[in-house]
Amino acid sequence: MTELFRLSAVEIAAGIRARAFSAVEVTEAHLARLEAVNPAINAVVQDGSTEALETARRIDEALARGEEPGLMAGVPAAIKVNVDQAGFATTNGLRLLRDNVARTDAPFVAQMRAAGAVFVGRTNTPAFSLRWFTDNGLNGQTLNPRNAALTPGGSSGGAAAAVAAGICPVAHGTDIAGSVRYPAYACGVHGLRPSFGRVATLNETSGDRFIGAQLMAVSGPIARRIADLELAHRVMSAPDRRDPWQVPAPHEGPAYARRAALCLAPDGMPVAPEVRAALVAAARVLEQAGWTVEEVDCPPMRPAAQINAVLWMAETELAVAGMMDREGDGAALFVYRMMCAETGPADLGRVMTALKDRAGLVRAWELFLDRYPLLICPVSGELPFAQQSDVRSEANFRRIYEAQLTQRALPALGMPALSVATGFAGEAPLGVQLVAGRFREDILFAAGGVLEAAGPAPEVADPA
């Protein structure tokens, strides 16, 4: 029999319902896996084992009474430490917030809990969730379970590493500049950045954020299977009145033409040969499945990335710049100063102009995605970066910042994007990014499923 920690979320939920195994057995298997591999990678930094076993027992008891256990019945999952989960500290990777214990769940955490998810622990993030690398002074560095010399990504590096290592089949991440999509890419798994307004969110420990984060920051799932992303996305996006931005959009949209745009180097960004080859290969797979693929230029990415930077840096300056000095995380301070230098002054005039210009860009992109319901483009212009390479020099940071153009641009536009693992280039994970119109995650799941079926599908990594 396949080890339980290697099963997908869909397989686990179905097996528990069919009484092929119990929720407790599944939970114990994943907690044992956590104990075996987490010391080597430091993905999970807050222990949820006691609550997890209690939840699993309740699910088994509910099934024995003939009750409906929920869509994610008994599925082990993990929540990132920058989101409220009742009884745990929402630290955002900061020593300053180690005692910031939440009294209530964020909306989608409550929805996952109600659907039967079993939370085995909470995953690491860089200080202030600011980097594409995962390290902080509170919990230390997270390693990539597929290759310890490479970043696990950030800021949801702990989440992607946990999924890749078999600690859980599904984990939560947040994304304001690639923090779901890039860790998925770096760890060789899949990650979904949902549409703006799809997943309700609120951290009562910190209150509402400023307008930039309200428009751009979303929560989404990371998993080893596209079907698991779809399952978690359906659960996480249940309606919740606490988020005034949430839109109760249907999960399946109207019929669409299977027409895709292939953009190998958006706005002329440098793209490594291995990344180009993966994009071309993905396009060929979709063509063989009946899609029409045309190589074209997509609408501008750089203006969208600049809007993201202005809104994000304005928020950071107002909300947390003072905390950065008190926290004293050298890497976070370096990255923040470099991002401020790249962005320029984020004053009132630039913020208002950014919000005005955003409307025109979103309009152009929606029209483009009406003609081409799917865009195939790079997740990153490079293979996963060497561990901690962003803080080695200013030149290194600028190279990485440029390689992450699509990560920075797309959040300003509100469309959903999917990072699909497609294999390896040597010892480095490789993948492609799919983009669709707002609330058309169904198109992403359909196309991502085609790519996944062509293989190789991500399997559990065994950290050395």
Active site residues: 80, 155, 179
Structure tokens that stand for 341 in this block: 């230098």
Residues in the chain: 464
CB 145 within 8 A of CB 171: no
Backbone angles phi, psi at 293, to 5 degrees: -120, 130
DSSP 252-304: S-S----EEEE-SSGGG----HHHHHHHHHHHHHHHHTT-EEEE-PPSPSHHH
- What does DSSP say about strands 374-377 and 259-262: parallel, antiparallel, or unpaired? parallel
Q: What amino acid occupies position 184?
A: A
Provide the greatest CA pair distance for the chain. 62
CB 236 within 8 A of CB 192: no
Q: How far is CA 453 from CA 132, 241, 414, 421, 458, in A?
A: 28, 37, 28, 11, 11
Name the residue among 304, 431, 457, 298 with its Cα closest to residue 368.
Answer: 298
Task: Collect all residues with Cβ–Cβ distance below 8 Å to 62 and sequence separation of at least 6.
Answer: 68, 69
Burial of residue 239, with CB atoms counted within 10 A of its CB: 0-12 exposed, 13-18 middle, 19 or more buried: exposed
CB 12 within 8 A of CB 37: no
